[in-house]
Amino acid sequence: MDAETWDGFLLGGLASCYLCALHRFHDPRLLKSCQALKLVEPITVKEDSSSHHEASEGEDNLTIGYQSGKRADDPSETRCSPPPMYAWTLVNPMRGPTLGRRGGISFISLRSANKKYVASHSRDSGAVLTAFARLPDECYVICAVFDRLTLDRLTLAEPPQGPPGPSSSLLNTKIVRGYAPAKKRAKNSDGGRNKENVADSDHSEGDVKQTEEQFKKKDTDVCYEIKKSDVMGRYLIAKRDIKAGEIVIEEPALAVGPCAGCGLICLGCYRELDECSIHKCPSCKWPLCSDMCPGRGKWVGHSREECEVFKNIAPNYGDLDDLKDSYQAIMPLRCLLLKSCCPEKWSALSAMEAHNGLRRARGDIWPTNEKHVVDRIVKAWRLAHDPDEIHTVCGILEVNAFEVGGSGASARALYDRAYLLAHECTPSTTHTDAEKRDGRPIIIRAAVPHKAGDLITLCYAYTLQGTLKRREHIQHSKFFSCICKRCSDPTELGTYASAFRCPKCAGRMLSTAPLDAAAAWKCGDNGCPYTMPAAAVQLLLKRLTDEFEQIDANDVRGFEAFLHKYRNVLHTTHYLCLSAKHSLSQLYGKVAEYMIHEMPDEELNRKIAICRDLMGVFDIIEPGYSRLRGVTLYELHAPLMILTTRDFEKKAITKENLRNRLKEIVNCLTESALILGFEPSQSSEGLMASAAREALTKIKTWEKIIGKIS
């Protein structure tokens, strides 16, 4: 099984749960690892493997098993019960499946990474759900047992507290590619950091809903004020001193809709849909995940107003490519509907910059919007909207929208004030969107302390890119040239994130004028006079970037080989090297052949060195309470803890050294828990925060041996 498939099982999990992978006859390596990490527990099932496993009263843990010698060629097949030796109960179920119907038969859709699982029709009590996944070379059969569930009300038991420390959540954290290749970001109109949000999954339907009036009450003590200048337009500064971690803005969305270029998604919750079994809105027949979609009837999802309009516009299910293309017009249409159904929101939206003049002068943007949005709304859908107004809305979205959503969602949103934050390539804030809360508010927090009068900023580009790439992206998507302190400094604030190795003396090759893409590059070390023309540097960068993007996201050896191959071409902190190290920092300890408890000391020390290299840069380009720092601190603690434990067991460490090591581990965990504690509890970052807190509690037991640690 390849690394990508392992990743789908290990990191995505069945319905976002921990999943014991099911190989043809089961894989003893993985099963042993899962047992060692206490992610699975054996259960007792009947010896008769041909009969169903009946759920007893109160049994509600998700159970997975494997039936050997059976191919799941027929998705309608329902009879499967795992032999006792292959039956395991997941200790930590995280998220419920998605409900749906196909041809009048109820089914449950269980997603793991990019894999698709379809469960069969269930009974009212003691339901046995059989799920099938078609994978290369093998076919896997999974049995899920629930107690007294119906397809309209599917619940999982509260997960018990898992073991703390590095073994608690290492298989649960998603791997995020360090440098997101353009082609993999293509379906999102903008790959900048202000477009990458983590969705809040904390709030169920029973939670108290926050109305817009409640949001307005919070505004009585705003910590910012709006300023205006000819150069920056409107922007925000600190009205008073702001503490790190303090909420700067919390406000509901004006409008939410599909990203341009997204796939086939639910119009209510923006989750990806199975093209083979599309559920349709009962009223307008447009795609939804189910009749119970949480976004159905909501103005941040598939609203009643939109449904009324779409009743007269038949979706083209005969041509799925055309149906997907029509999604480009849905978010602009939702904005246009505000004009009649919510004038106050329309007024706030209309105050945003569209840059029509600059966009019209571009040979690509205006014609594309004319074809895919304006013509779709006016000609294909025959709706009475002014074409110029539609173009303006497109511009407002391109310039001001935030990408939102987690767990596979693909959406963008507009907010009344969040768009006013100025851009800087070393942002002073971080943010999440609360997906499950009424109004889908965005929460912007100060990542660093602000003094009264300080500019409040976020980054419109990806901070782990070099100056050339960041400025190119901002100019292309936001229609201005960044001249921030990082872009203006050839060394990028001492990080050397764009530096090449001088072929003559191995010194650092830097741009002589980083704000001028045509400026020559020169070696400034030891008086070396070597120079390279900008065109040669850009050609080299393109070639290296293309090669980097060909590396599989889970290929440890591929990233290490890239770093070794170009060690004499790229500076050690060049952004391509940083991106490779960022991926490696998360891959080491989580993928097949590199499980954290099985890694030799040499590989553990390699992970430590990588994390320290990254922290040295992240402290500068994303200082304070940033996700990059929080996640990397968590990744750093794990190998430190494993090595410390091994040395302690071998009695190869003094009491003083043990105390010092544990102090560093405690510091990593404490700061990581603090930073990631601001994230939604069921996001990968939120789960890391929980694991960090549990590990801190566990480490306290060491004080019985060595005395107080901190």
Task: For residue 406, name the pLDDT band (cuts at 50, 70, 90).
Answer: low
pLDDT of the residue at 17 = 30
Residue 321 tokens, joined: 């490519």
**Could you give the count of Cα atoms lying within 13 Å of 555 in the half-sphere of its Cβ?**
13
Contact criterion met (CB below 8 Å) for 469 and 538 = no
Distance in angstroms (rounded) separating the CA atoms of residues 639 and 609: 10
Neighbours of 529 (CB within 10 A): 9
DSSP 172-234: TSPP--SS--GGGSTTSS--SGGG---B-----TTSPPPPHHHHHHHGGG-SEEEEEETTTEE
Distance in angstroms (rounded) separating the CA atoms of residues 416 and 33: 49
Q: In what order do the strands lie in the sheet with 115-119?
A: 98-102, 105-112, 115-119, 128-134, 139-145
- For 528, the 3-state DSSP assignment is coil
Phi, psi dihedrals of residue 272, rounded to the nearest 5°: -65, 140
Residue 65 tokens, joined: 């098993």
Phi, psi dihedrals of residue 411, rounded to the nearest 5°: -145, 165
State the sign of the Cα–Cα–Cα–Cα dihedral 85, 89, 91, 97: positive
Instruction: Provide the residue type at 227 as one letter.
Output: K
Find the mean pLDDT for residues 435-439: 81
- For 253, the 3-state DSSP assignment is strand
Contacts with 344 (C-beta within 8 Å, 6 or more apart), sequence order: none
Find the mean pLDDT for residues 106-118: 32
Instruction: Pick the more confident residue, 526 or 446.
Output: 446
Lowest-confidence range among 37-41, 516-520, 607-611? 37-41
Distance in angstroms (rounded) separating the CA atoms of residues 249 and 219: 9
Which has the closest alpha carbon to 284: 260, 270, 267, 261?
267
pLDDT of the residue at 138 = 26
**Rounded to the nearest 10 degrees, what angle do helices 655-676 and 684-699 cross at?**
150
Find the mean pLDDT for residues 437-453: 94
Length of the chain: 710
pLDDT of the residue at 690 = 94
Residue 392 has pLDDT above 70, yes or no: yes
Q: Average per-residue pLDDT in the chain? A: 75
Long-range Cβ pairs for the range 701-705 (8 Å, 24+): 702/658, 702/662, 705/655, 705/658
Place of tokens 């309009």: 309
Contacts with 62 (C-beta within 8 Å, 6 or more apart), sequence order: 14, 15, 17, 89, 90, 93, 144, 145, 146, 156
Lowest-confidence range among 406-410, 504-508, 600-604? 406-410
pLDDT digits (tens, 9 = 90+) for 577-590: 999 999 999 999 99
pLDDT of the residue at 409 = 65
Distance in angstroms (rounded) separating the CA atoms of residues 18 and 39: 7
Task: For residue 710, name the pLDDT band (cuts at 50, 70, 90).
Answer: low
pLDDT of the residue at 706 = 79
Lowest-confidence range among 356-360, 547-551, 653-657? 653-657
- For 375, the 3-state DSSP assignment is helix
Which of 65-69, 216-220, 299-303 is the most confident on average? 299-303
Q: Is 89 exposed, middle or buried (0-12, 13-18, 19+ CB in 10 A)?
A: middle
Find the mean pLDDT for residues 212-229: 72
pLDDT digits (tens, 9 = 90+) for 256-303: 999 988 889 999 999 999 888 889 999 999 999 999 999 999 999 999
Cα→Cα distances 205→291, 294, 541, 564, 576, Å: 16, 9, 49, 51, 43
- For 145, the 3-state DSSP assignment is strand
pLDDT of the residue at 132 = 29
Task: For residue 231, name the pLDDT band (cuts at 50, 70, 90).
Answer: confident
Contact criterion met (CB below 8 Å) for 499 and 574 = yes
Place of tokens 């560093």: 664
Per-domain residue ranges of the chain: 3-160, 183-458, 481-706
Residue 218 has pLDDT above 90, yes or no: no
Contact criterion met (CB below 8 Å) for 146 and 62 = yes
Residue 354 tokens, joined: 């569209």
| HEC letters along 401-440 | CEEECCCCCCEEEEECCHHHCEECCCCCEEEEECCCCCCC
Residue 454 has pLDDT above 60, yes or no: yes
Does domain 481-706 match CATH 1.10.10? no
pLDDT of the residue at 220 = 59
Helix, strand, coil percentages in the chain from 3-state DSSP, rounded to 5: 40, 15, 45
Place of tokens 């893409």: 517
Distance in angstroms (rounded) separating the CA atoms of residues 680 and 660: 32
Residue 445 has pLDDT above 60, yes or no: yes
CATH architecture of 183-458: Beta Complex (2.170)
Task: For residue 393, name the pLDDT band (cuts at 50, 70, 90).
Answer: very high
Instruction: Provide the residue type at 345 as one letter.
Output: K
pLDDT digits (tens, 9 = 90+) for 512-561: 999 999 999 999 888 899 999 999 999 999 999 999 999 999 999 999 99
Task: For residue 466, name the pLDDT band (cuts at 50, 70, 90).
Answer: very high
Residue 110 has pLDDT above 90, yes or no: no
How does 277-308 read in b/e, with b if 16+ C-beta sit within 10 Å?
bbbebeebbbbbbbeebbbbebbbbbbeebbe
Helix or strand run (H / E) with residue 587? helix 575-587
Strands 224-229, 233-238: pairing kind: antiparallel
DSSP 673-694: HHHHTTS-TTSHHHHHHHHHHH
Residue 468 has pLDDT above 90, yes or no: yes
pLDDT of the residue at 248 = 97
Strands 105-112, 128-134: pairing kind: unpaired
Cα→Cα distances 130→25, 109, 363, Å: 18, 11, 53
pLDDT of the residue at 408 = 58
DSSP 6-51: HHIIIII-GGGS------SS--HHHHHHHHHTT-EEE----S-TTS
pLDDT of the residue at 108 = 32
Instruction: Provide the residue type at 71 as one letter.
Output: R
Residue 161 has pLDDT above 70, yes or no: no
Which has the closest alpha carbon to 39: 166, 163, 175?
163
